[in-house]
Amino acid sequence: MKLQQLLSHVRKAIDDYHMIQEGDKIAIGISGGKDSLTLLEAMHSLKYFYPNKFDIVAITVDLGFENINLDKIKDLCASKEIPYEIVHTDISKIIFEDRKETNPCSLCAKMRKGALNTLAKELGCNKIAYAHHKDDIVETMMMSLIYEGRFHTFSPVTYLDRMELTVIRPLMYVNEADVIGFANKYELPVLKSPCPADGYTKRQYVKDMLRQLNLENPGVKNRMFTAIQDSNLQGWSKPSEN
């Protein structure tokens, strides 16, 4: 996927769900993975022509794993004059050593988001952009059905009352395969996840299941995404064709 194609999807999402208003300061959570770096590239480029002017800042929550080198991400942000902040935490120690969590993802996500939100507020941000793409949205819906018995997924825009922050998801129309293609084409400095649970989670199980379903029933993931848009889930609506 070329940058122009990526920007087309991102702008449509932002326009369909009114994600950006004039004067917004948006924190972009940077894990070092392909998704967050692709979002960073898109938001940086969008700044120069989107009618509503906004600023961005990149934030990485360092979970405390050893042998993580963020220098290439620092260099990427510096080359684009994007402010970059790192929050150092002991989240990995708390989860894997102190608590010895057998299902660590939920607690890790909660703690990681808490650290990200806190720094975003301190930096004067009113919004946070998460790098969830179309596959993430469908996978979350399937996880909710399988493990919770309800039809649910996160919404394109979410207001966090306690933090007075708005979460936006500009990659919501982008397929994961296109994110991979974009990251490879533009040689983004993607870091391998150091998490010992990576690849062995419930989400990975659902991801693999959906991949097989889509191979046997081409287009099934897109139809599931349309079902989400057509549902009455809070924050979701069928966008206009205009």
Contacts 24+ apart (CB under 8 A), 219-226: 221/134, 221/135, 221/138, 224/138, 224/141, 224/142, 225/134, 225/137, 225/138
| pTM exceeding 0.75 | yes
**For residues 63 and 92, what is the distance between their CA atoms, to the nearest angstrom?**
5
User: Residue 239: inside a domain, yes or no?
Assistant: no
* Residue 171: CATH number of its domain: 3.40.50.620
Count the domains in the chain: 1
User: Residue 75: inside a domain, yes or no?
Assistant: yes
Side chain identity at 204, as an amino acid letter?
Q
Strand, helix or coil for residue 26? strand
Give tens-digit pLDDT for 82-125.
999 999 888 888 888 787 777 777 788 888 899 999 999 999 99
Q: Which two tokens stand for residue 140?
A: 């979350």
User: Residue 237: inside a domain, yes or no?
Assistant: no
User: Residue 241: inside a domain, yes or no?
Assistant: no
User: Residue 238: inside a domain, yes or no?
Assistant: no
Q: What is the pLDDT of residue 73?
A: 95
Provide the residue range defining the domain that includes 30: 3-230
**What is the DSSP track for 53-97?**
-EEEEEEEEE---SS---HHHHHHHHHTT--EEEEE--HHIIIII
**229, 211, 231, 230: which is closest to 221 by C-alpha?**
211
| Residues across the chain | 242
- Mean pLDDT estimate for the chain: 91
Give tens-digit pLDDT for 37-56.
999 999 999 999 999 999 99
User: Residue 219: inside a domain, yes or no?
Assistant: yes
Q: What is the pLDDT of residue 97?
A: 79
φ, ψ at 41 (rounded to 5°):
-60, -45
Q: 83: Cβ–Cβ under 8 A, 6 or more apart, which residues?
A: 57, 58, 77, 123
Task: Calculate mean pLDDT across residues 205-225.
Answer: 94
Task: Calculate mean pLDDT across residues 65-78.
Answer: 89
For the chain, the helix, strand and coil percentages under 3-state DSSP, each to the nearest 5: 45, 15, 40
User: Residue 71: inside a domain, yes or no?
Assistant: yes
User: Residue 35: inside a domain, yes or no?
Assistant: yes
Residue 242 reports pLDDT greater than 50: no
